[in-house]
């Protein structure tokens, strides 16, 4: 059986450091070797590959096209090895830190108030929550699991459905006491509609689902997160579509009201997304089991 066609790991580490610093001197300082040793290791890698990785001009070096391609590949590979090494060290007996990539409003409003029960059940696991709502990159963000809203399709991941989302029209009691209270969808023409910038078609979906239409829409501000939209509505900046489960407290204390009682299910749902490579880690399994139990 043929062995792997791999160059020296030491040479790869040195090449990655030189490419990152664009300097043999700074790379040598980082690796605690001499500049000549760093140069020899990179030269040995070029001989092994039979490809020039750098062009050398007096005291300056530049990556060749081949070197630029290879440095990106090597850097990602070393990141994976480093992350796996840290993972293995920190996962002894299920201990370590569980890093959760969290949608900001979902985390603040739904998850954080429930976390004490998880910490009580698993005091050996430390929790690290980071705001995360963009494209998922578990290695780059160094997170173990993420909660996302979407269609439920993420590659190379274990996906646990959590909940659907029902949205409803909300405003302040002051608006309802004004000259144009909202009694039906047509009443919305008198008010500014606040938009969610990452869900630009939410209002279109609501109008279509409720079989309503509205001409001459007055658009209010466009905001990135639900917690911003909640505060914007409370400040009187307009009317918004908000998930019911995120505004239970406001509806209860009367700071917000839902004048149109019809609720509309959104086109997506909330999911717990776990990279397949981490799905069997004890701390991840513990969190997945706990989170799903909170929805039963």
The domains found in the chain, sorted by start residue, are 9-80 (1.10.10.10), 92-164+269-293 (3.40.190.10), 165-266 (3.40.190.10)
Q: Comparing C-alpha atoms, which of 242, 280, 7, 276 is closest to residue 105?
A: 242
pLDDT digits (tens, 9 = 90+) for 68-113: 999 999 998 998 888 777 766 666 555 678 999 999 999 999 999 9
pLDDT digits (tens, 9 = 90+) for 175-229: 999 999 999 999 999 999 999 998 889 999 999 999 888 778 899 999 999 999 9
Q: Which has the higher per-residue pLDDT, 200 or 1?
A: 200
- Residue 251's contacts (CB-CB under 8 Å, 6 or more residues apart) are 170, 244, 257, 258
């Amino acid at each position: 059986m043929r062995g792997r066609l791999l160059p020296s790991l030491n040479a790869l580490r040195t090449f990655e450091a030189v490419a990152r610093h664009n300097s043999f001197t700074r790379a040598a300082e980082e690796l605690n070797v001499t500049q000549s040793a760093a140069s020899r290791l990179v030269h040995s890698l070029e001989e092994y590959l039979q490809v020039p990785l750098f062009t050398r001009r007096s005291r300056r070096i530049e990556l060749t096209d081949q070197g630029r391609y290879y440095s990106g590949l090597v850097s990602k590979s070393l990141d994976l090895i480093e992350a796996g090494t840290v993972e293995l060290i920190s996962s002894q007996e299920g201990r370590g830190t569980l890093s959760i990539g969290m949608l900001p409003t979902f985390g603040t409003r739904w998850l954080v108030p429930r976390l004490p029960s998880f910490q009580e059940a698993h005091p050996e696991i430390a929790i690290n929550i980071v705001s995360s709502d963009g494209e998922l990159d578990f290695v780059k963000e160094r997170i173990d699991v993420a909660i996302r809203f979407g269609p439920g399709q993420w590659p190379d991941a274990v996906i646990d459905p959590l909940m659907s989302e029902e949205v409803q029209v909300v405003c302040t009691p002051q608006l309802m006491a004004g000259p144009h209270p909202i009694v039906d969808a047509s009443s919305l023409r008198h008010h500014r509609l606040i938009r969610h910038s990452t869900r630009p078609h939410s209002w279109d979906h609501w109008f279509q689902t409720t079989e309503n239409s509205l001409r001459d829409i007055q658009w209010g501000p466009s905001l990135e997160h639900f917690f911003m939209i909640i505060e914007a509505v409370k400040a009187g900046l307009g009317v918004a579509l908000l998930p019911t489960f995120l505004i239970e407290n406001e509806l209860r204390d009367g700071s917000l009201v839902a004048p149109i009682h019809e609720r509309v299910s959104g086109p997506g749902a909330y999911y717990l997304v776990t990279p397949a490579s981490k799905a069997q880690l004890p701390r991840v399994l513990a969190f997945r089991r706990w989170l799903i139990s909170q929805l039963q």
